[in-house]
Amino acid sequence: MIHRAPFGSMERFVALLLEHTGGNFPLWLIPTQAIVLPVSEKHEKYAEKVLNSLENHEIRALIDNRNETVGKKIREAELKKIPFMIIVGEQEEESATISVRRHGGDDLGSLNVDAFSDLVTTEINSTLKSF
């Protein structure tokens, strides 16, 4: 017979974590760390290339390739509380960079994928050191 206490403890832990963070999970815990937002359908191939590079750097990311405006995609990513939004368009494709925006509206500007992965890794490591 399995005792019920471990399951109740886990439920209380998750409820406490949700209440404490307000749904803004730490970067190391959140299932989707970044979302790639192509400006138009022309830039989907570059968005997939960026996604593959992020996955090679072990960053959990998705592509939002719906036929919506970038503003609407950003609003929905903000509501989902995704920590980083990566916008790719013609300028980013030509210069082989990404435009990064943090949850809450902070614009980090243009970075290459390696610099972005270093930023994410540094933030995760600094968060885990506090435990």
Q: What is the predicted pLDDT for the residue at 128?
A: 82
Per residue in 80-126, pLDDT (tens digit) is 999 999 999 999 999 999 999 999 889 999 999 999 999 999 999 99
Long-range CB contact pairs, 45-51, < 8 A, 24+: 46/88, 46/92, 46/93, 47/88, 50/86, 50/88, 50/98, 50/113
Is position 102 within any domain?
Answer: yes
Q: How many domains does the chain have?
A: 1
Which pLDDT tens digit goes with each residue over 7-52? 677 888 888 888 888 888 889 999 999 999 999 999 999 999 999 9
C-alpha distances in Å from residue 35, one per residue of 30, 116, 119: 12, 13, 15
11 in any annotated domain = no
Give 58 or 4, the one with higher predicted confidence: 58
Decide if 51 is inside a domain.
Answer: yes
Query: Looking at the domain assignment, is residue 111 inside a domain?
Result: yes
Evaluate whether 75 touches 63 at the Cβ level (below 8 Å).
no
Residue 108's CATH number: 3.40.50.800
Instruction: Tell me which residue range forms the domain holding 75.
Output: 34-129
Query: What pLDDT was estimated at residue 18?
Result: 84
Q: Is the pLDDT of residue 5 over 80?
A: no
